[in-house]
Amino acid sequence: MKKAPETDFSTTQLPHTRWELLIDVALHQTGSLISASLLLSLFALPLLCDYLIFSTFAGTAYANASPMNSIFALCFYGALIAIPCIGILFVGYAGAYEVGQRLSFLDGVLSSVSFFYGLKKNWRSALGIGFIVGMSFAFALVGSLYLLFFYQASPIVMGIGIGLLLFQFLLVGSLSHYFLAQEGLYQNSFGATLKNAFLFTLMKMPCSFGLFILSPGIVIFLFAFSNITAYVGMGLFLFFSSFGVLIWSIYAHKVFDSYINAEHYPGLVNKGLYPKEDESCPKSH
């Protein structure tokens, strides 16, 4: 277990910007982040097994020149099984976001204790949003493969369809991170938290989509590109997945400061930052 330093910081020693906060935590709390990443990876094992089994079956079927219907059926069943697997993964994210929240607020952290505390507190809501993301992923994957396999004669229809499927997955995937970041801070119903997350994603769509492409988008791409790059993706997720959680946490807290905390929870505004940051940086509207 990695514990944050016990040093008492004066306000002048606090980071002045969120970039400084990110760099400070990433450099000085590397052990806590890697520890949380390893714990999170345990919850990714069912999804990893699903990927390995069905990618092997599909690759073998393709090598043996099996009909497209057979290959599509394998991918379809693999995507269906991925839905509960993604739900399990998001249970792990409940713990990782508890660690990310404490680190982004510069609170003391016992990574394993904080992880399992977040797990105990938010596993039900995390499982719920995980199932929603899982269904979105399965819809995007199966729909895209269907268009690629059976609509090659209509490239315009195929391109528009795949674009819409990817867009909805980006939207749902992005809002899931706002959802998880809220769960550690506020006591709202599942529906209210989901609605807020959806609105934040729409209002901050370019940044939200960019962050999702960075994390976990890079890992998803590596898994989708080839079996060789998938092993690189495994390594990145194993050791660095919580770094992505930290980035999302810091950015989400900035958004929450503008739209929630400034009015309802002023004590959370710029928490972890040098107090004068709000005097030099305009707030979002």
232 φ, ψ (degrees, to nearest 5) = -65, -45
DSSP-derived secondary structure letter, 67:
-
Q: Tell me if 91 is assigned to some domain.
A: yes
Measured distance CA(202)–CA(285) in Å, rounded: 13
Q: Tell me if 4 is assigned to some domain.
A: no
The pLDDT value recorded for residue 280 is 36
Q: pTM of the full predicted structure? A: 0.90
Place of tokens 């052990």: 31
pLDDT means over runs of 10, the chain (285 residues): 45 83 94 96 97 92 88 95 98 97 88 94 97 98 93 87 97 98 94 97 97 96 92 96 97 96 93 64 39
| Domain of 107, in residue numbers | 17-274
Sign of CA dihedral 140, 157, 224, 168: negative
Number of structural domains the chain divides into: 1
Q: Tell me if 240 is assigned to some domain.
A: yes
Pair 136, 169: CB distance under 8 Å: yes
Q: Tell me if 2 is assigned to some domain.
A: no
Q: DSSP letters along 131-191, please?
A: HHHHHHHHHHHHHHHHHHHH-TT-HHHHHHHHHHHHHHHHHHHHHHHHHHHHHTT----HH
The pLDDT value recorded for residue 10 is 54
Measured distance CA(58)–CA(160) in Å, rounded: 26
The pLDDT value recorded for residue 151 is 83
The pLDDT value recorded for residue 281 is 37
Q: Tell me if 8 is assigned to some domain.
A: no
